[in-house]
Amino acid sequence: MAVKEIKGKILFTQEDIWKRAKELGEQITCDYAGKELILIGTLRGAVPWMADIMKHIDLDLEIDFVSASSYGSGTISSGEVKIKKDIELEISGKEVLIIEDIIDTGNTLKALKDYFYIKKPNSVKICTLLDKPSRRTADVKGDYIGFEVPDLFIVGYGLDFDQKYRNLPYISYLEE
């Protein structure tokens, strides 16, 4: 399936996403003023969102990445979270903000938060581009949420289906 063949309407344009990134970046700047902040992006989907958010945070910060997944090549979460790439920065005594593309079941983020807390940061919060609360099975919520979405299989702006469609400059969805 070529990118141009995607069915479904555009849910959020690139302009919508940039505007929301600016709003959240300003809020994060206020909330973390005077603190040591580390942004940890979840690979691969959160990369475009993280780039937009960090441009709007007016603080000294560090960045790192983690790769964890519960999907594989399917459209439904397997429920089993695997960490494939760990962070490299020391987070003890610092503020951690996980940058995520979408909170779906919440299993991956709950596992990541629990894992990071073992490393003794001051706090671990979540900034997500998209939140899909209708699918939540784990007790986790976003602290900074771009947009709430219905129970659709979302693609674009970093989100993929079997590694395709990440490069769409907007958020759309795959139809059955």
Domain ranges of the chain: 15-69+81-150
Catalytic site includes residue 104 = yes
pLDDT in tens, 51-92: 999 999 999 999 999 998 765 555 555 567 888 999 999 999
Candidates 58, 60, 64, 104; catalytic one: 104
pTM, to two decimals: 0.90
Q: How far is CA 155 from CA 149, 164, 175, in A?
A: 12, 8, 11
15-69+81-150 to CATH, choices 3.30.420.40, 3.20.20.70, 3.40.50.2020, 3.20.20.140? 3.40.50.2020
Query: What pLDDT score was predicted for residue 35?
Result: 97
DSSP secondary structure letter of residue 27: H
Helix axis angle, 14-31 to 47-55, nearest 10°: 60
pLDDT in tens, 2-53: 555 555 789 999 999 999 999 999 999 999 999 999 999 999 999 999 999 9
pLDDT in tens, 92-105: 999 999 999 999 99
Q: Do residues 135 and 165 make contact, with C-beta atoms less than 8 angstroms apart?
A: no
Q: How far apart are CA 77 and CA 117, in angstroms?
A: 23
